[in-house]
Chains A and B, each alone.
Chain A
């Protein structure tokens, strides 16, 4: 919390260092920590990815099953993104219902994937109005050291690109059978989220926990491989000028391309 005295001292230190164009850990303002992405390592799930970004560590699991469609879209499959703040990940995190930030994390990652129309949901229908394929994307935070949105967004994309979706057979009676055959999910876009933080007058990417704690605000921008924007989310009790927003969008476009190369390299 930025309201206690320790944080104010910390804030001053971090702001002073950032103002000189460097970071506490020696990085450049617009430099990510080292990424480590491993895919398909959970045999029981259709897709999985483990992402380490510095000390931030998340696991993303993709499960594909059968469920009921929504009333207004009887033939469309359903994708759900959920985020879990596990109590092992940080001393201040406790078991219990998801905190607001976890809800936001899931919703921002979800919005990026959904707005990019990453999967053609209309192709996932099985029995109209009764059964459709469900894709669950679970974001599991195992160690929290800042920048969860970017890490989870990269993890979700890595897990979805490598997922082996089961093929289902529908009999004339409408009975559904899971076959042994699998196929890769057909992704129509590869969106990635980049979060730009404002600390003092400087813009930085990939904040650590400390930097995140003292930041003034942040803008998360999700960009696909064609340079289109899919989602934006601004947080923090400060305003951004139009110029700052444009700068953030430029930074995000550039960084998203870099991360995409890493994510798709492991495919």
Chain B
């Protein structure tokens, strides 16, 4: 099955003489992204993201008292992210116990999001971000960061900016944006990036594969462009929820002036 499809792609490539992605996207085109905020009633903030066939839900609890206490810091809060994949999110089934990969991703996710928060405001407390991968389709760590950022904003936690994340990579010699599962596995390399648009800073950067220095730098730039597109979608998702609240409460005054996304821009 897979062999025949491969043959077809090579044929198409030679006949049209134009390279195309597995799913027909342009090299710099994102997969369809859908973000919704406020999806878990019990959580202080939450978000759901679909990025391609990734289905990911993120919930925020806190700031709240840290348990176990010895992990708390006397002068600042602690951000604790947990990235976890459901057993049925991948094929074949995976164990629900956190793998070494999960633990590493949890760490780099925390590093990616922390620069956006004012943790010095929450001594001895913790902000817990739980991310569950319901279905995985390549680029889950980026999608998780996107969902986590929206969930934190939904929880009303002041942020310097939203964190937006997207990967770029190299597949069949071409630099492409937002790798799908197939491109991720068969491609030459993968560069996940998270970005704070207002500060113009990269907060997550990983890479795996073989690329020249120049290609790598181009990939990072491409990924940043993807992050900027996602940033707009994240804002949309928040506006959709809070825009409706504003409409209901404030009737005649122009309801769209306040953007809850940009709470606490400056200290």
A is bound by B: yes
**Interface of A with B (CB < 8 Å)?**
1, 3, 71, 100, 103-104, 106-107, 111, 114-117, 217, 219, 224, 227-242, 245-246, 249-250, 253
Contact string against A for B residues 197-241, beta-carbon threshold 8 Å, 1 for contact and 0 otherwise: 001111111111111110011001100100000000000000000
In the bound assembly, the distance between CA atoms of A253 and B92 in angstroms comes to: 39
CA distance A106 to B100 in the complex (A): 10
Within B145-184, the residues touching A (CB, 8 Å) are none
Bound: A227/B107 CA distance, A: 28
- Which among B76, B104, B204, B220 is the interface contact of A242 at CB below 8 angstroms? B220
Interface residues of B in 73-131 (CB under 8 A from A): 73-76, 92, 100-101, 103-104, 107-108, 110-111, 114-115
Q: A100 and B201 in contact (CB under 8 A), knowing A117-B210, A228-B210, A232-B191?
A: no
Whether, in the assembled complex, B196 has its beta carbon less than 8 Å from a beta carbon of chain A, the answer is: yes
- Let me know if B206 and A234 touch, CB within 8 A: yes
- 18 A-B pairs whose Cβ atoms sit less than 8 Å apart in the complex: A3-B74, A104-B107, A107-B101, A115-B189, A115-B208, A227-B213, A228-B213, A229-B216, A231-B207, A232-B191, A237-B115, A240-B202, A242-B224, A245-B217, A245-B220, A249-B213, A249-B216, A253-B213
Q: Does B212 lie within 8 Å of A3, measured CB to CB?
A: no
Q: Give bound CA distance, A1 to B75, whole Å.
A: 12
Evaluate contact between B208 and A103: CB separation under 8 angstroms.
no
Contact A100 to B205, CB < 8 A, known contacts A238-B115, A239-B196: no
B111 near A235 with CB under 8 A, answer yes
CB atoms of B217 and A249 under 8 A apart: yes
Give Cα distance in the complex from A41 to B49, angstroms.
Answer: 53
Other 9 A-B pairs with CB < 8 A, given A107-B101, A117-B210? A3-B75, A3-B76, A103-B104, A104-B107, A229-B213, A232-B205, A234-B111, A236-B111, A237-B115
Q: Which residue of A lies closest to B116 (CB)?
A: A239
Say whether A230 contacts B220, CB under 8 Å: no
Q: Which residue of B lies closest to A112 (CB)?
A: B208
List residues of chain B with CB under 8 Å of any chain A CB: 73-76, 92, 100-101, 103-104, 107-108, 110-111, 114-115, 189, 191, 196, 199-213, 216-217, 220-221, 224
Instruction: State the CA gap A222–B212 with chains docked (Å).
Output: 12
Q: Do B211 and A245 touch (CB < 8 A)?
A: no
| Distance between Cα atoms of A229 and B210 in the complex (Å) | 6
Closest to A246 in B: B217
Nearest CB to that of B113 among chain A residues? A237
Cα–Cα distance between A219 and B75 once the two chains are bound (Å): 26
User: Is B209 in contact with A3, judged by CB distance below 8 angstroms?
Assistant: no
Q: Would A239 and B216 count as touching, CB distance under 8 A?
A: no
A187 to chain B, nearest CB (A): 15
Report the bound CA distance from A117 to B199 in whole Å. Answer: 36
Residue of B100, B204, B210 near A230 (CB, 8 A) is: B210
Tell me, in angstroms, the Cα distance from A236 to B207 when the chains sit together: 16
From A116, A235, A241, B201 is in contact (CB under 8 Å) with A241
Contact A219 B205, beta carbon cutoff 8 Å: yes
- A232 to B101 alpha-carbon distance, docked (Å): 15
Contacting residues, chain B, for A3 (C-beta < 8 A): 73-76
Across the interface, name the chain B residue whose C-beta is closest to A111: B208
Q: For the complex, give the distance between the alpha carbons of A149 and B210 in Å.
A: 19
Residue of A nearest to B99 (CB): A103
Instruction: Give chain B residues whose Cβ lies under 8 Å from the Cβ of A242.
Output: 200, 202, 220-221, 224
Chain B CB within 10 A, most for which of A107, A234, A240: A234
In the complex the two chains form, what is the Cα distance from A240 to B195 in whole Å? 9
- Do A239 and B221 touch (CB < 8 A)? no
Q: In the complex, which of the residues B104, B114, B211 contacts A228, with contact meaning CB atoms closer than 8 Å?
A: B211
CA distance A59 to B75 in the complex (A): 38
| Other-chain residue from A103, A116, A227, A234 in contact with B205 (beta carbon distance below 8 A) | A234
Judge whether B220 and A107 touch: CB under 8 Å: no
* Docked CA distance A217–B202 (Å): 12
Q: Is the CB of B107 within 8 A of A100?
A: yes
